[in-house]
Chain A
């Protein structure tokens, strides 16, 4: 067993996959940061033109799938990606859904996509000094996706989407989007529209049909922390 530490970026992840393949490592464990371990630990640097190399080895769809698994942000997703990578090199496809690790990849992608989609709706922005500011604590790395989404939607605005857990933010300023390290405490003041939104939220519910179970199913409690219509 070998622990492979990679830099926290998609290129870093691909470099680690590639290094493990080249050195014929069996069952490696991929990590973003060092952990105490009995096994040998190797730190892999980003290789030049790694994305280009992968584009020569894999088709576009598979690279996108690997990207989503990178966003899943758990060790098991990284090692399943590695096994799929080896399978692809041998078989030139990932269509055999009877293989556990391929099915797992599809599952990771689904979870990541679900969270991306949920936050498109559940993210709440606040007007702070002419900047729209939103914070949240997603399970997976979905910041890049949300940044791109809101860049299209709020083209003329400036916004900051703050991933509190990862201490990163998608910052859109003067029509330029970037993902940056971000660890500031932003003071949010209540405004009229927050109050109006709460009023609306309560008025549209049909009380005769109250169904908390169903509400929890679609808007699970862990999403609600920053959704201002819920009392936390």
Chain B
């Protein structure tokens, strides 16, 4: 099989891993080498479904001895199989990088022969890049469940990010759909890397995970509680959510595909946890899902209408960022502008602040909305946002 065919198969089977971030890296080009990582992250192109391509995201092999029901590459699925050699993959990476197609490599893999065998092949690829080509661009490595500690440690020193997909929010679901995986072999590696990072002076990769949403029936509450635990304990830098896409011949999964909108709402809620100082209990009710019709911050404000309207000329930064439609940048703009005058409706417009949602919750000299009735606001916001049909993963720029 030629390299082009391999690339087609192994890129195709890797695309369901949603993470493509190249941000947060801090590597500089080394003498005689090539590549650095650029903290804000870079999108090099956008696929026909509108997603950012930042990294060469491929599997090392899609051969797999595991039989996870939700996965297209599972052992019992009859698909075309392919494997790179470490040299082939390193050469594609370096040549793509030189032509500015990518920020680096995202390498995951099916499990061929054994977890350690697979992890070793992946590390060999990365070593050719880092040591032979002196490549200092971004590398994301998937930790293979069940790989030995030594290999995980090596991976976390060579890569900018390592990840292990916990896949499902509860151990019961994992047992049902991924019999070879368990909490220990997917979660322990992440804890192990966290400890390395806490106790090492040299840089150690940051960590992330991915969770499939909708293949089993855990509600968003359970998912966000889990996310918030990981963030609080600083085990993960990011959590990714992937709406379940049906694969053929499933035994236990009874659902059709999960709406992308649910994934979108989870990302919005995740953003509130990480950057807006919200607690998960504030945005999602016990044992239930997020509201699909309105975003989580708006849902929060409507539920807590007694806290509004707030006065944009007096409110603190923390209060401002809790207004639907006002983000961190806009809150800063308001604070800067009001130092020179008392802000009115038109001043907000001039500052480029969208008051479509915000108007229901703020006072700028006078109350800008029509009514503080939660039912009214809800209807008005749903009506106004119904013209925007596309949902995608939130991005930082």
Binding site for B on A (CB under 8 A): 95-98, 100, 103, 117, 120-127, 132, 134, 149-150, 152-157, 193-197, 199-215, 217-219, 227, 229
Contacts and interface: CB of A to CB of B under 8 A. Distances in A.
A97 B45 contact: no
B351 interface: yes
A98 B99 contact: no
B35 interface: yes
Interface in B322-379: 333, 336-337, 339-341, 347, 350-351
Contacts of B57: 204
Nearest to A96: B340
Interface in B85-116: 92, 95-96, 98-101
B275 interface: no
Interface residues of B, number: 58
26 contacts: A95-B336, A96-B337, A97-B351, A98-B347, A103-B351, A120-B42, A124-B101, A125-B100, A152-B36, A153-B34, A154-B98, A193-B99, A194-B99, A197-B96, A200-B8, A203-B7, A204-B11, A204-B12, A204-B14, A204-B15, A204-B51, A204-B53, A205-B48, A206-B15, A211-B49, A219-B45
Interface in B32-70: 32-36, 38, 40, 42-54, 56-58
Interface string B5-33: 00111011011100000000000110111
A152 B101 contact: no
Contacts of A96: 337, 340
B382 interface: no
Given A95-B336, A215-B47, A208 B11 contact: no
B245 interface: yes
B390 A214 contact: yes
- Majority SS of interface residues in chain A? helix
Contacts of A211: 48-50, 390, 392
A146 B46 CA distance: 20
A109 to B, nearest CB: 13
B380 interface: no
A143 B98 CA distance: 18
A171 B43 CA distance: 24
B4 interface: yes
Contacts of A126: 99
A218 B11 CA distance: 22
